[in-house]
Chains A and B, each alone.
Chain A
């Protein structure tokens, strides 16, 4: 702890010597690739929203004139926030269990999380329709147990969307959490206990704060993935779960109104950017880039 690292960009922060031009060349292929297949198309996409074919702001005008698009945006944010919170609530205890249990139990849990992770998202979404439908396993069990008199509505509304999305997103929450938690020195908890803290207090005062970088990383990851989700809300949601991604698809493929699609894309990008900046202000960007090292201290 003699040299605290305050920022993720240690390359420069720790002094000029770290940045050696010849080694810098090593990132060149990645940089070129990134510019060619990401930055360049993205810039063109941004440009589309301002031209038709001459410079225009009409797409943004149309966006503001129609409240339905803002509704799609608020749907998107609502779904993403809910999925993030649910993933955290379900993922935190799971990651805790993984970090604190023995090697065998840990690899079993890991396998259980990874197996669905490797299955196509489309297949998983369709599988939920079979499971959650009126004649699905869940409803038939509920009906035969007499818990409900008619099939419960689990599909084609927010419930279905959240079940489907959290199922897909949970690994993205669990792995950053586990990464941080597994590096927390168990002796710190023992010290807290030996100094008289009851288990709950030791957890709240020692473990929880140390695990926060994982929480931040997991939440940002899950939220950013959730905001671009297309398949799951489209398949498992109803009219109330129409997202911005759905609208973009419609503009690109049905109406061929790419200018407006680009505009919606810019809005989505801007929202993501603002949220990312807020998160990094609140929690520190370095926590997201240096998850492991933070936890180690």
Chain B
């Protein structure tokens, strides 16, 4: 997620984006990790500030290392960095689609789980503990709507409602580009497929639902920031975007509501870049970041779900109600099945690649 923000960095470059990422001639920033310094790369914004305030000080005090924060961990930059043999980043936080791409191209180090506290790991869902990535903050694709567009209590509560333009009028906004795959699971839920029978995805059935969605969409958004802006301004009445971003906008006074029912859960994860200089110290840093108390403190400030379930022992019921991993919200949602999206088909391409390409060509044929 937060893809939009990453995106804006490259937007200005246009076609030159390809050039800018060319080989070893463009060293992005002189953020070199010298001895005694750990370079952590995240997506910027409030979450980074929270890390800076709530995680880094304890880590720095315990280890004597200083943390340098950089942004954003574009997969293309990681690739350029590893290929040029000049790795200046240690730890990056990124989503599973990016992790899969990076693992496929052998651009990440495996994580040493033995270096992490077992008590902490026990409270983190197993699907978030991968060989090359450990879940930190949970985002989710949810029904997000403009509260002025629907009378109280009459907002869409399911994806079928979102697909129902007659009963729930107003423009829709769904993602296109920004590294986010088409919302095939959501389309199947709208067509009545049970939430526990989504995988393996019936691709053709999902695309038929996308054909039905097309005329309802007033704007295919390119970033989640844009989606929230469109929904807050009433340019779109309802859409599929990151629920926690909707909650943050709601807290900021925007006329936005979030429906967690039938949401798709996914994670931003800690990874270590291939060839990073401080692998050991990087694991130690991760151990601090997954601390339940630290995660609870972060969630109070930035409303993403903590990956460590223990965090809810440090949060009030009201605070938990707005978070997607709280006990009452998490059971209405489903985890995105990353294995389905990442298992190559007979042509050697993963569904993620195939569906992203299909999405682009589907859009152009419309």
Contacts and interface: CB of A to CB of B under 8 A. Distances in A.
B270 to A, nearest CB: 21
Given A156-B218, A234-B222, A239-B363, 5 more contacts: A68-B361, A230-B14, A245-B17, A255-B356, A262-B18
A265 B15 contact: yes
B30 interface: no
Contacts of B357: 255
Given A44-B23, A235-B226, A250 B18 contact: no
A261 B101 contact: no
Contacts of B75: 253, 256
B322 interface: no
B166 interface: no
A291 interface: no
Given A68-B361, A250-B360, A45 B19 contact: yes
A286 interface: no
A66 B361 contact: yes
Interface in B132-166: none
B361 A230 contact: no
Q: How large is the interface on A (under 10, 10 to 19, 20 to 34, 35 or more residues)?
A: 35 or more
Contact of A129 (B15, B178, B229, B356): B229
What are the 5 closest A-B residue pairs judged by CB atoms, nearest first?
Answer: A230-B14, A68-B361, A68-B364, A228-B15, A41-B22
B21 A252 contact: yes
B220 interface: yes
B366 interface: yes
A77 to B, nearest CB: 14
Most buried by B among A72, A156, A253: A253
Interface of B: 6-8, 10-19, 21-23, 25, 74-76, 79, 101, 105, 176-179, 214, 218-220, 222, 226, 229, 233-235, 353, 356-357, 360-361, 363-366
Contacts of A67: 365
A230 B218 contact: no
A12 B25 CA distance: 34
A44 B19 CA distance: 9
Nearest to A62: B357
B204 to A, nearest CB: 18
Given A45-B22, A68-B365, A72-B364, A253 B10 contact: yes
A183 interface: no
A253 B14 CA distance: 12
A253 B219 CA distance: 21
B361 A41 contact: no
A255 B105 CA distance: 12
Contact of B353 (A129, A246, A255): A255
A172 to B, nearest CB: 15
Most buried by B among A37, A122, A248, A255: A255
Interface string A59-84: 00000001111011001000000000
